[in-house]
Amino acid sequence: IAVDGSGNAYVTGNTYSSNFPTQSPYQTYQGVYHYSDVFVTKFSGTGNGLIFSTYLGGTGTDAGYGIAIDGSGNVYVTGYTLSSNFPTQNPYQTYQGGSDVFVTRFSSSGNSLIYSTYLGGAGNDGGNAMGDYYMGDGIAVDGSGNSYVTGWTLSSDFPIQNPYEATNQGGADVFVSKLIGDADGDGVPNDVDNCPTVYNPSQEDGDNDGIGDSCDICTDTDGDTFGNPGYPANTCQTDNCPSVANPLQADSDADGVGDACDICPHHVANDCCNPVGLNQEPVVTSAATATAVPSTVPFRYVATATDPNCNGSELTFSFASYPSWCLVHGDTLVGSAACNSPDTSFKVIASDWMLSDTLLVSLTIDKSNQAPHIADTTSEVFVRNGTSFAYFPTIVDPDDALHSIGYSDYPHWCAVRHDSIIGVVPDTVFRELVNVTVSDYCQGDTFAFFVSTYLCGDVNSDVAVNISDAVYLIAYIFAGGSAPSPFLSGDANCDGTVNISDAVYLIAYIFAGGSAPCAACP
């Protein structure tokens, strides 16, 4: 007899009666004349009602001598049987002949077996007691559902495992056996049950990790730590692509199907023209060579490709290993090469999301440019006071139309405007340098000359117009004296020549209040 925490009593023994009281029985009467059956009965806590009561046995003599219960109300019974057809369920042994021990576990309802097995050898074996032998304490159970059975045996081949004594000592020996439990009652012993606390007789293990699907908190067949859908025990995040490892769970079109197994990862309706499994890779069709000319006009390379599946609308372009002086704008590579940029290469990649083609483009820097030349030859320019002065270099360049012009030196009374120097000549004599550079991005030319100012009528260069200039001029005209410097300073009347009329013009200006020298000049 055994009693649970609620005061219910569990009784086992043997009966010869065909009308033994039953309640929701697992079996009916099995005995024949002179043969008994085991009975297993559960009384209510008051003792005046049966909760269940059943026969247990085969067509031979069967007797129960030990009973125990676990925390779930499952009932463990042991005894002996002479029946070759004693009820078994997931047995450790079949009938061994003669008298065998039986160990049976009932469900808490008493009307079904969780397991039931023979235990013995070729001789007679008895669970607890038989005949005049009363040895051992029957059966006990631990919290893991393991059952511990004791009794006697005359068999020399009684099953042993890790024995204290390995051989029969003669006559009837006590045996003590521990049967590995089946805590969840699914017929699979705890030590091999892949889910020992959850009923799972099929032992399914979808991801082969040794943990049954019924209690695996993350059944993950592709090993990316995300669980397959359809497994109620899963507590991990559901895998959007359970057949392909995709730890990033990328889902570009947010349709719930990961890119790794989505036939159209960028189309929610799966209407792309390059579906997975049928797609063919694109082909880059743009040029495999390119030339960049160092200039103010930037280098430009436009990538093109064809797609056997599509019209190209789903193609994307990228560039790799391109020069640092370039920038990428969609399908175009743009930049300005420097004069010292080396020949190089870059890669063009055309992709239709899943497949791609790469083209290596050789890039040559064209350095055949010819330098510009400043064709001006004068070393000095004389400019008259009060006039306007302007200078723009005369440029000869056979292969460029655009140039940059710079001035490092120019007269202080001038300014730079639109690549020219301009100014109004002051009434003071100066001699100043003009230094100009013309370049076409990589090469250039430099030219220098002087700009000298003069006063009209100041033929002797003393920075004043007076009688000495008239005398100087008359000496030049009639006596072979030195020429005016600059020569045009002697053309006081602006008629384009230097003669006696200029001397008369100066004398009239100096002594008779005539017009100032060059007053009528344009």
For residues 288 and 324, what is the distance between their CA atoms, to the nearest angstrom? 19
DSSP assignment string, 220-238: -TTSSS-BPTT-TT--SPB
Please report the pLDDT score of residue 356 as a whole number. Answer: 92
Report CA torsion sign: 212, 217, 219, 220. Answer: negative
For residues 326 and 323, what is the distance between their CA atoms, to the nearest angstrom? 6
Please report the pLDDT score of residue 262 as a whole number. Answer: 83
Identify how many contiguous H helices and E strands the chain contains and give both numbers.
2, 32
Domain definitions of the chain by residue range: 2-179, 207-271, 283-365, 373-454
For residues 2 and 66, what is the distance between their CA atoms, to the nearest angstrom? 9
DSSP assignment string, 205-219: -TT-SSS-TTT-S--
283-365 and 373-454 in the same fold: yes
Please report the pLDDT score of residue 477 as a whole number. Answer: 94
Please report the pLDDT score of residue 126 as a whole number. Answer: 61
**Fold of the 207-271 domain:** TSP type-3 repeat (4.10.1080)
Strands in 344-351's sheet, in edge-to-edge order, are: 289-292, 356-365, 344-351, 316-320
**CA 501 to mean position of chain CA atoms:** 96
Mean pLDDT split into 10-residue runs, the chain, 522 residues = 95 95 95 86 95 96 94 94 93 91 94 93 63 53 91 90 91 90 79 88 92 93 93 93 93 88 78 73 96 91 90 86 97 95 97 89 93 95 94 92 92 96 94 95 93 94 92 94 92 92 94 90 80
Cis peptide before 486 (omega within 30 of 0): yes
Residues in Cβ contact with 302 at an 8 Å cutoff, skipping those fewer than 6 apart: 286, 331, 332
Cα angle: 426, vertex 432, 435; to 5 degrees: 125
Please name which of 88, 112, 110, 84 lies closest in space to residue 98, comparing C-alpha atoms. Answer: 84
CB atoms within 10 A of CB 6: 8
**Fold of the 283-365 domain:** Immunoglobulin-like (2.60.40)
| Lookup result for tokens 């039931």 | 116
**Fold of the 373-454 domain:** Immunoglobulin-like (2.60.40)
**CA neighbours within 13 Å on the CB side: how many for 445?**
14
Contact 153, 114 (CB under 8 A): no
Please report the pLDDT score of residue 248 as a whole number. Answer: 94
Q: Write b or e for each residue in 350-370: b if 16 or more Cβ atoms lie within 10 A of its Cβ, otherwise e.
A: bbbbbebbebebebebeeebe
Q: Write b or e for each residue in 161-185: b if 16 or more Cβ atoms lie within 10 A of its Cβ, otherwise e.
A: eeeeeeebeeebbebebebbbbbbb
